[in-house]
Structure 1
Amino acid sequence: MSLHHLTTTAAAHVLVQPVDAYTFTSGRLWSVVGALLGLAGAVIGGLALARSARRIGAGNGRRGAIVALGAGLACTVIGGLVVAAAEGGPGTGYGIVGGWVDLVVGLIAMILGGLALARSRRTA
C-alpha cells in the first residue's frame, strides 16, 4: 500500500465517524451563537416594545428596537447559512435543527424590533 492510499483511507475513516448527540461540532457552535443572538434580540425587542408603550423606563425604545432588528437579522442570516451548509438531517452534527430554530427566533426578534421601532416613531 502506498502512503497516499493510507492517508486517504485514514482521512475517509475520520470523515465517516458517527457524531454523538453531545459532540460539539462547528455547525452546532454556529447554531448556538445564532440562537443566543436571536434570544438577546427578542428580549431587547420586547423591552423596547414595552418602553415604546411607556410602560417601563425612560425614552421611546428606539435604540433597543434597532439593536433587536440587528440581532434578529444576524440570527436569521446565521441560521440560513447553517441550514444551507448542512449535508445531513437532524443528529448528523451539522446543526440543522439549531439553524431552523435560529430562523424562527431571528424572525421573532425582527418582528418585535420592527413593532417597537414603528411605535417609537408614532409616539415621537
Structure 2
Amino acid sequence: MSVGSALAAPASAHALVQQAAASSYTVTPERIWASTAAMLALIGVLLGGLALARSAGRIRTGNGRAAAMVATAAGLIAVVNGGLVVVTADGGPGTGNGIVGGFVAVVIGLIGVFLGRRALARSRRTA
C-alpha cells in the first residue's frame, strides 16, 4: 500500500460525508420516520387533553377512559420512536437524519403520556 493511496482514502471519505448532507428541503426516510413519530405524539396530546376535559366533567360525552389509554399508548410509541431516531442519527440538525423531529417527538410524546396518565388517574377517582 503506497502512501498516496493511504492519504487519498480519508479525503474521499470526507467527500462522501459532504455529499451525504441533505438540503433542508430534501425528504429522507429518517425525516419521514421522525415526522410520523411527532405527528403520533401530537395525536396523543390532543387525545390526552380531550380525555382530561372529559374526566373533569367539561365535556359530557363519556368518561374519556379509552381516549386516555390511547393517548398514553400513542405518547409512549412516539417517545420510543423519537428516541430511536435521535440515537441512530449520524449528524446534527440539517443533515437529513431527522434529529430535530426526533427530539420534538420525544418532548411532545412525554406531554401526551402525562396528559393520558393524568386523565386515567382522574377517571379512576370519579368511577
TM-score above 0.5: yes
RMSD: 1.7
The equivalent of 1:81 in structure 2 is 84
The letter of the residue matching 1:16 is Q
> In structure 2, which of residues 114, 118, 121 is the aligned counterpart of residue 115 of structure 1?
118
The secondary structure found in structure 1 opposite 2:20 is coil
CA deviation string 1:30-84 (max 9, x = no partner): 1110011000010000000000011103221110000000100011011000001
The equivalent of 1:29 in structure 2 is 32
**Structure 2: which 5+ residue stretches go unaligned?**
1-11
CA distance in 2, matches of 1:93, 1:106: 21
Q: Does 1:71 align with 2:74?
A: yes
Alpha-carbon distance, 1:24 to partner = 0.5
Q: Over alpha carbons, which structure has the higher Rg?
A: 2
Moved more, 18-27 or 105-114: 18-27
> In structure 1, which of residues 49, 61, 64 is the aligned counterpart of residue 64 of structure 2?
61
TM-score (norm 1): 0.86
Check conservation: 2:21, 2:94, Cα contact below 8 A: no
Alpha-carbon distance, 1:14 to partner = 9.0
> In structure 2, which of residues 90, 94, 105 is the aligned counterpart of residue 91 of structure 1?
94
Identity rate, percent: 58
> In structure 1, which of residues 100, 105, 108 is the aligned counterpart of residue 108 of structure 2?
105
The equivalent of 2:54 in structure 1 is 51
The secondary structure found in structure 1 opposite 2:95 is coil
